[in-house]
Structure 1
Amino acid sequence: MADTPKHSVSVAGIVVDDQDRVLVIQRRDNNRWEPPGGVLELDETPDEGARREVLEETGVRVVVERLTGVYKNMSKGIVALVFLCRPEIGIPVTTDESRDARWITLNEVDLSMSPAFSVRVRDAFSDEVSVRSHDGHDLLGALYG
């Protein structure tokens, strides 16, 4: 068992408001636009982690509705669990982790994000749970979705 591969687990929230706009952040570390998210801590459930990450990165408290996808970055060994969320309270603010936080339309998602992240937003608008792999930027194929 010593040769068992190690993976990192992350969580993200696709926060959709009543106008079907999506809450996104511009990350401070690489300036990329992405849904808010990060590493799941050992002592929290995936939905708790999604709520925490969205709040930490945007200042918006959310209700987690359901799992929408599982995504693996094949080059880094990161497995991401992505959840559809609805805003509960708060307005988007910048934080230590986000250079900017704002609501954008689905059309803007495709223009501002890499395919590996824009597909997570698109998948959240489907009733199916997607399972996909990517290289950090581009999709490598899809099992579901």
Structure 2
Amino acid sequence: MLLCMSTSAQSGRSTPLHSVSVAGAVIRDDGRILVIRRADNGRWELPGGVLELDEAPEAGARREVREETGVDVAVDGLTGVYKNMHRGIVALVFRCRPVGGAETTSAESTHVTWMTPQEIRASMTEAYAIRLLDALSDAAPHVRTHDGTRLLSAV
């Protein structure tokens, strides 16, 4: 991903702009969570992607889940904000519930399935598993930083 640079008129310094992504932690009544195997890197992750400029975050989460999995969702609320400190990507994760559609792969996913929390812990990197595990909690939205694989300590 290419990060754009802007120049501050006051300081003359270039500052990186962040990319904002949205993702849906889709949870069925039986507690299983919707996940995809990404086509580009083969990793298991929750469905999501870049938020479009003219799009509300909740609408973006619904669109991304539908595009990558075929599942239609209702968005119940924000469960976390996650920043990849190396790539400058800020991800907003929303707890969702399935309301229609059917599981199908896409150009971005080679497999779509429902996993238990234990399967998620075993199949995903820490930085992505925590997003789904946080969504199972009733706590206030979590704010976490990571390096793309591991969580980073709070500063």
TM-score for the superposition, normalised by structure 1 = 0.96
User: 1:19 corresponds to which residue?
Assistant: 30
Structure 2: which 5+ runs fail to align?
Answer: 1-7
| Residue in 2 that maps onto 1:78 | 89
CA distance in 1, matches of 2:90, 2:28: 26
State how far apart, in whole Å, the 1-side matches of 2:103 and 2:129 are.
19
Partner residue of 1:108? 119
Give the direction of change, closer, same or farther, for the CA distance of 1:142–1:86 in structure 2 (3 Å limit): farther
Identity between Structure 1 and Structure 2 (%): 60
Shift of 1:52: 0.2
Unaligned 5+ residue runs, structure 1? none
Structure exhibiting the larger radius of gyration computed from Cα positions? 2
Cα distance in 2, alignment partners of residues 126 and 108 from structure 1: 17
Matching residue's letter, 1:11 = V
1:95 equivalent in alignment to 2:82:
no
Q: How many Å apart are 1:142 and its aligned residue? A: 4.3
After superposition, the C-alpha distances for 1:84-104 in whole angstroms (9 at most, x for unaligned) are 000000221111110000111
Aligned mate of 2:58, from 35, 47, 52: 47
Does residue 138 in structure 1 map to residue 138 in structure 2? no
* Distance in 2, Cα, partners of 1:50 & 1:30: 21
1:141 positional shift: 2.2
**Aligned partners of 1:131 and 1:142 also within 8 Å:** no
